[in-house]
Structures are given as structure tokens and as C-alpha cells.
A and B are shown apart, each in its own frame.
Chain A
Amino acid sequence: MNQNRNQTMKPLTLTILGGVDKDGLPDAIDKIEIGRGEIIGIVGPTGSGKSTLIADVEQFAQGDTPSGRRILINGVPPEPQLRSDPRKKLVAQLSQNMHFLADMSVCDFLRMHAKSRGKDNALPEKVIMLANTLTGEPIDPKHQLTILSGGQSRALMVADIAVISDSPIVLIDEIENAGIKKQEALRLLSGEGKIVVVVTHDPMLALMASRRIVMKNGGMTKVISTSTEEHQIFQDIERVDSWLTSLRETIRQGEVVA
């Protein structure tokens, strides 16, 4: 797997060139460069344009989206094929969608997705195995996608991205509301050398990022680098979070909290 990764994943840089906010005023940030292996956060109130920014990156906007932003790969506009052909796509995206609408079995769906990405037919089993480490009740390959719970769907989407969509750029939209183990999910998605862009309201995830873009009224207003102090706070939050997680698990398993 790692060998395979090293071959397919050439180091790249992602550049976001500023566009306009909801009122048509220019982004305060006119250029952000994101390098290999960096986790970058997107923060801001609801409706501030976080998902729009992530959509710009997903479709490699070239001034043709409402924000007017442009995305460069290694400093140049990407070839048109990179924008659309899943076999060449550089981006894997976990969006806010919590459910599948496709009326197919889990196994058929994953096989078809592997085919669309030009990948090995044997991957579906691996995806399901991985998904089942993130969710409570296990997913059966014969299950219809539409009967999966929100948590199961989300776990399957995460595992699918880690195994089948395995791309050098990973976009994640609010993983914290997914009902799955968020840190493990983020670790799975942010494989070695990948660029990870994560939209979040969660202090722990936001501080895991080395920088965060602040959104307001559809525009990119500033970029904050995570300071040493913030990193210390992150370690405190991590302790509190693992305590909360263990309490949650105890309650889930029908046991008594001591």
C-alpha cells in the first residue's frame, strides 16, 4: 500500500487565489499556498462560505464559480481532465452528506466506485473492514446502501476515501457531527504526505491544523497560524476529549460510569 502510494503521489502544492465575498468585495487574502503534508483548517460561523470554499477546491475553480476564486496545482492551472475524470482526480472529498441515495448493495457500489477510479476490484472488502473499525454496528457487504445508519454511511464514506479515492488532496467537511470516531477518521484520511483541508467548528480539529483560514460573509478574511500556546491547549483538549470518548463508549456499551 505504502509503496503504491509513493508511486502515485507526487508531491504537489495547492494554491488558492482569492476571489470575492457575497457582496462582491475582494477576499482579504489574495493567495494561500498549501504544501505537501499540511493540514489546514477552515473556520467561521454557519453560512460564512466554508463549504463554498471547499467546493471551489474540489472542482478546481478557474474563476467560473460564484466566488470567482482560482485554484492552481504546482503553481499552474490544472488540465481540464484533472477537474472531471475520476481516474485522474487529485481530490478526495468527504462532504456534509450523511446518506447514500443510490439503491445498490454496499459491495456493488464499492466495486463500481473502484472501477470509476480505475482501481483494483478487490478493494471493496478492504473498505468495509476499515469502515467497521469506525462504526458501532458492523456493515454487511450485502446491505443496501439506503438502509445504513448515518454513522455507518459516514464510516463507509471515510473508508472509501482512504482506500478507493486515495488522492493527494483530501477535503473534509465537518467530520465532528458524523457519529464516528473523529480522530481516527482524520488519521485515516490524512495519510502520509497528503494535503488535508478540513472545515470544522471543533477546537481540537482546528488546532490540529498548522494554519486556519477564517471565513466571513463568503470571503477569506485572514489566515491564523497555530501558535505554540495553542498547541499546548490542543494537548489539553486531546486529554479531555479522550476522557469524554471513553465515557461515551462506556455509556454506549450499557455499562455504568465509575
Chain B
Amino acid sequence: MKMVVVAGTPGSGKTSVLMHAVKDLKRSGHRPALAKIDCMWTEDDIRFKRLDVPVAVGLSRDMCPDHYAIYNMDEMLQWAKAQGADILLNETAGLCLRCAPYPDKGLAVCVIDVTAGPNSPLKVGPLLTTADAVVMTKGDLVSQAEREVFRERILEANPRCRIIEANGLTGKGSGELADLIRTWPDIDGEMVLRHNPPLAICTLCTGELRVSKERHRGVLRHLDGFMEYRGE
């Protein structure tokens, strides 16, 4: 079984790029299964089902979707195996840019939208810096020079990554992504995350609604960067 985790900012084109890659994988005789993780709502499962592949949806609701995806990884793999799949494609929700939901042995793919500007590769953090492949989308909306500057910025943030220029509308680049998936080694044994999740669980995570620091416990960081621990 091969595993691919696809992360990226909302609206960057993760689903469209994946759909083209799925078609390509199926053409070459693979049996991909798709697990889509989102927060509140998704209709991506309907889009994926049109490709005639097994699709599972997980909604994290009031929990962090990346945390939810991480501790449900083995459940997703078991499900994919039961479907007779040989590749699990896991598309994440992509929200706070603090986590990177990539286990070490799977293929980690970050999808990023060129129109977000050349500073965005620096903003997305571990989602991009720990990825094996970075897929640049919507390049047709900017000039060649701007695409090349964007590419350079990605390499500054993650010098070892493979960059794929893709277009979710035409399918450009998805063949290259599918090739990379085909050649990626199978997963085996225990997997660990490539990057640590956020530093501490705060009182907000457990349901505190009131604002202001005096209402909160745990490790708190002030605007000036100072960190303190409040609690027992």
C-alpha cells in the first residue's frame, strides 16, 4: 500500500489536481482510494465518486481537522485495504498552517496557489517546508516572470522539494504527480509525523469562550513573543 497526504490552503485546487491524478493512476492499472477530511461540510466526495473510486469522508466538526486526520490514519489505511485499493490518497482540510499532517513514510504533497503572492510560500510553514512535492496551481493567471519568482520562493523555503506546475482546469502537471506517486515506496511499520503539532493545548481547545488572557491556562504566548505557563 502506498500513502499520499495532500495538504494546502483552502481553494488552492487540491481536489481538482487530485482528480486528474486519480484518472491517470487508474489508466495505469492502479486502484486508488480517497479519504477526504474536512471540518464542517464537503461535497468533494460527490466529485470523486464520479471517477468511480472508493471515497470516504471524515468531518472533524469541532476538532482540529489535522489532528483528526493524524490519529485516524490507521483507520483510513484499513478502510482502503478493505476496498481492495493499493494507494490511499488522503486530502486534508488545510487550515491553520501550523501543523503539517505528513507521516514520514507517505508521499507528502503541498498544493499552493500562485495568485496568493510570492510571500505565501514563506507563510504556510511546515505544510510546505516538510513536503516532498509542492504543486503550484493557477500559474496561468500570472506572468511567466511571476511564476518563476514564486518558484524561487518555494525553493528558498524548501530547497529539497520537487516542484510541479499544475493546472486544475486542464489537468496540466497531474501526470507528473501521478508518476511520482507510482514510484513512491510502499509504507510499512510504524509511522511518525515529520513535524511536531502545536506546542500546547490551550483552554480554548477545551471549550473556553471568554476572551482575554486571565481566562486562559496553559502555555500562552504574548504578542511580543514572551511565553508564560499558567496553571498548576
Contact = CB atoms under 8 A, between A and B. Distances in A.
Given A97-B141, A100-B143, A101-B117, A117 B148 contact: yes
Contact of B115 (A84, A101, A117): A101
A93 B172 contact: no
A164 interface: yes
A23 interface: no
Contacts of B170: 65-66
Nearest to B150: A102
Contacts of B212: none
B171 interface: yes
Interface of B: 114-115, 117-119, 140-146, 148-153, 163, 165, 170-172, 175
A178 interface: no
Interface of A: 55, 58-59, 64-66, 84, 86, 92-95, 97, 100-104, 109, 112-113, 115-117, 157, 160-161, 164-165
A63 to B, nearest CB: 9
B62 to A, nearest CB: 34
Contacts of A100: 142-143, 146
Contacts of A92: 144
Listed from nearest, the 5 A-B pairs whose CB atoms lie closest are A116-B152, A93-B144, A116-B148, A86-B148, A64-B175
Nearest to B146: A102
A103 B119 contact: yes
A115 B152 contact: yes
Given A59-B165, A95-B143, A157-B143, 5 more contacts: A66-B171, A94-B143, A101-B115, A112-B118, A113-B145
Nearest to A117: B148
A21 to B, nearest CB: 15
B143 A97 contact: yes
Nearest to B153: A112
Contacts of B149: 102, 104, 109, 112-113, 116
Given A64-B175, A103-B117, A115-B152, A84 B145 contact: no
Nearest to A56: B172
B23 to A, nearest CB: 12
A92 B144 CA distance: 8
